[in-house]
Structure 1
Amino acid sequence: MRGRAGVVAVLAVLLLVVAGCSGAGPARDAERPLVLTTFTVLADIARNVAGEHLQVESITKVGAEIHGYEPTPGDIRKAAEADLIVDNGLNLELWFGRFVSELSVPHVVVSDGVEVIDISEDAYAGKPNPHAWMSPDNVARYVDNMVAAFSNLDPANTDAFRANAETYKAQLRTVHDELVTALAAVPATQRALVTCEGAFSYLARDAGLTERYIWAVNAEQQATPQQVASTIAFVSENRVPAVFCESTVSDSAMRQVVAATGTRFGGILYVDSLSEPGGPVPTYLDLIRHDTRTIIAGLTGSAA
């Protein structure tokens, strides 16, 4: 992690780049305000609310690891040209806060108002788990916060934002009900969800699963031997039928768990990033459905 002096120096350089590159950044639609989100999942949710009335872009690209992301001069240029920045909050995008405060661009924290689950272990114990969007119920709150922010930005289209939000929240309710119903069929002896990162606390709460993970929040360092050993012990003692890892991190530590216990590797789950349009999770709703299918297939040994 850079010290404060280093961060300030980097900001100064980047802001000079902004001043000298006024023509850079996303292709602007002169007819629509530009809304930037910090990652692709939020961009998809925002587009469902905005409809055709706002131009929505994600700062980070598909596949980016959101927690330890290193901003680029191009990111600064995008932020400087935006009319609104949408971030998750809950300490997810600490990297973004370092330079957003230097720009006179309004922003909204879309997790405001959700019922937060605190992290229970490691260095992050007591801090909020930032992955609140892994509950479709929470995303309904994200949507309400977007409606308010978008209406302030573009009052003429308030009715459209509200109508789009109601349509999308109905889809969120359907996906939530599908998730809960499908995972309820997993036998009680197989209801442990073991992942690389502790990103599934909200989904596990909704679905009545026991959550276990190697590390609480994705970070630059490798998993410690103690973390791996603790996960191996949990999987062995509870005869966990399958374990999983997220798409934006290496699964090497979880493969050690598989080798030591003889459990199955159940597959890749998506959390912090969507896939490309032709991939398995081009939208947030697809992400929840994909993860639900993958978890069920892994824990029950069925085909996904």
Structure 2
Amino acid sequence: MRKQPSSVKRLLLAVLFLSMGLLLLSGCGNKSESETASGALKLTTTIGMINDVAREIGGEHVEVTGLMGPGVDPHLYKASQGDIKKLEDADLILYSGLHLEGKMTEMFEKMSKSKRVVAVTKNIPEEKLREADGAHDPHVWFDVSLWMNAAETIRDTLIEADPTNKAAYQSNAEAYLANLKELDDYARAQIDTIPKEGRVMVTAHDAFGYFGAAYDIEVVGLQGISTASEYGSKDVIALRDMLVERKIKAVFVESSVPKKSIEAVIEGAKSNGHDVVIGGELFSDAMGKEGTIEGTYIGMVRHNVDTIVNALK
């Protein structure tokens, strides 16, 4: 007959098996945690232009979630419950500021009391900001030199939030800022090829004021700096008359603004004996689709420059 183990041995065996089970569970738990938590800084951004810069400078050390995709108008955007969850889960929130995001600005101000929330335009000198419609024009990314300032603010914010990876952020930013300087030079040189008398770009809303000032081209918008502002028949008539009087051949539509406003101006000019064509689609408050050249800030600006030059030159 087999000898039965003593009660002491049975207790020791039970403790051993229990310890092994806990170790296995602990190991599985750690594996799962390492798979789901990358250790990257979690960022939530508003417009695509900020999203792109944050990814370029943050690199592998950040996980970036954007709220506003292609064709989205930030002036009229309303945060969904899903957006609020993304904002609450973020380690850092980056938004444009200068009231580009409209009523969302109030939400960001409240969230700033409990987490790091930064307006990327905060360090742009006030004297360089354009005044329009009684407020600062928020479309600063159309002057590449001003957007370089915003990129530096993003770099410094990442370093402050994650000093361990300071060297990587500095290195990435240095390379990206060099690319932006090259872009700034490219825009200036290309617009300069348009004859002076033909440097007039007409758009749906006044988003390109910084672009016009930086690269020496006259910009006329049907609506004000915000698409939330209304335009009326008087605005359409005034713009129509300008096109006819100055014999302007092309106008531009925007990816994030309905075409009907510009189409009304074109029809008005045609009824007055002057043909105007749509010179192309520009990206103003939103970039192109992700995965395309126009889905990056640099690609978006190059697309706009080339489209304007091809239509007006």
- What TM-score comes out, normalization by structure 2 length? 0.82
Question: CA-to-partner distance for each residue in 1:218-252, whole Å, 9 max, x for gaps?
Answer: 43465311111111122122221211121011111
Q: Take 1:218 and 1:254, find their aligned partners in 2: how far apart are those partners?
A: 16
Distance 2:72 2:238 in 1: 28
Aligned residue among 160, 164, 177 for 1:169: 177
- Check whether the contact 1:79–1:105 (CA below 8 A) recurs between aligned residues: no
Alignment of 1:82-93 (within 5 A): 82-93=90-101
Structure 1: how far apart are the matches of 2:130 and 2:301? Answer: 19
Deviates more, 1:279-288 or 1:246-255: 279-288
| Residue of structure 1 equivalent to 2:136 | 128
Choose which of 97, 116, 120 in structure 2 pairs with 1:110.
120
Q: Residues 260 and 28 from structure 1, CA distance in 2 versus in 1: closer, same or farther, beyond 3 angstroms?
A: farther
Aligned partner letter, 1:289? R
**Paired residues of 1:28 and 1:34 also in contact (CA < 8 A):** no
**Which one of the candidate residues 35, 39, 42 is aligned to 2:47?**
39
Q: Alpha carbons of 1:93 and 1:250: their partners in 2 closer, same or farther (altered >3 Å)?
A: same
Where does 1:136-285 land on structure 2 (aligned, <5 Å)?
A: 136-220=144-228, 223-261=231-269, 262-279=275-292, 281-285=294-298
| Whole-angstrom CA distance in 2 between matches of 1:65 and 1:205 | 23
Q: What's the offset of the Cα at 1:127?
A: 0.8
Q: Tell me the SS of whatever aligns to 1:52.
A: helix
Cα 1:136–1:231, aligned 2, differ >3 Å: closer, same or farther?
same
CA distance in 2, matches of 1:217, 1:202: 11
SS of 2:74 mapped into structure 1: coil
Report matched runs for 1:17-28 at 5 Å.
none
How far residue 74 of structure 1 moved from its aligned partner, in angstroms, is 0.4
CA distance in structure 1 between the partners assigned to 2:218 and 2:62 by the alignment? 40
- Distance of 1:107 and 1:28 partners within structure 2: 25
For the Cα contact (< 8 Å) 1:62–1:276, is it kept in 2?
A: yes
Q: Cα RMSD over matched residues? A: 1.7
Summarize deviations over 1:36-93 as a string: whole Å, max 9, x none. Answer: 1111111001111111111111112222111110110001101111111111111101
Q: Contact between 1:266 and 1:295, CA under 8 Å: does it hold in 2?
A: yes
Classify the secondary structure of the residue corresponding to 1:67. Answer: coil
Question: What is the CA–CA distance in structure 2 between the aligned matches of 1:220 and 1:165, rounded to whole Å?
Answer: 34
Q: Is the 8 A contact 1:87 1:108 kept in 2?
A: yes
Q: Check conservation: 1:214, 1:223, Cα contact below 8 A.
A: yes
Aligned counterpart for 2:305 among listed residues 292, 298, 303: 292
Rounded Cα–Cα distance in structure 1 between residues aligned with 2:157 and 2:177: 17
Partner of 1:79: 87
1:29/1:298 CA distance change after superposition, 3 Å: farther
Q: Sequence identity of aligned pairs in percent?
A: 26
Question: Partner of 1:230: helix, strand, or coil?
Answer: helix
State the AA in 2 paired with 1:273. Answer: A
Structure 1 letter corresponding to 2:300: L
SS of 1:156's equivalent in the other structure is helix
Q: What are the ranges of 5 or more consecutive residues in structure 1 without an aligned counterpart?
A: 1-26, 120-124
User: Unaligned stretches of 5+ in structure 2?
Assistant: 1-34, 270-274
Residue 114 of structure 2 is aligned to residue 101 of structure 1: no
TM-score (norm 1): 0.84
Instruction: Please tell me whether the aligned partners of residues 118 and 129 of structure 1 are also in contact (alpha carbons under 8 angstroms).
Output: yes
Amino acid at match of 1:244: F
Q: Which amino acid in structure 2 is aligned with residue 112 of structure 1?
A: K
Cα distance in 2 for residues equivalent to 1:63 and 1:29: 32
Q: SS of the residue aligned with 1:233?
A: helix
Q: 1:29 to 1:130 in 2, by over 3 A?
A: farther
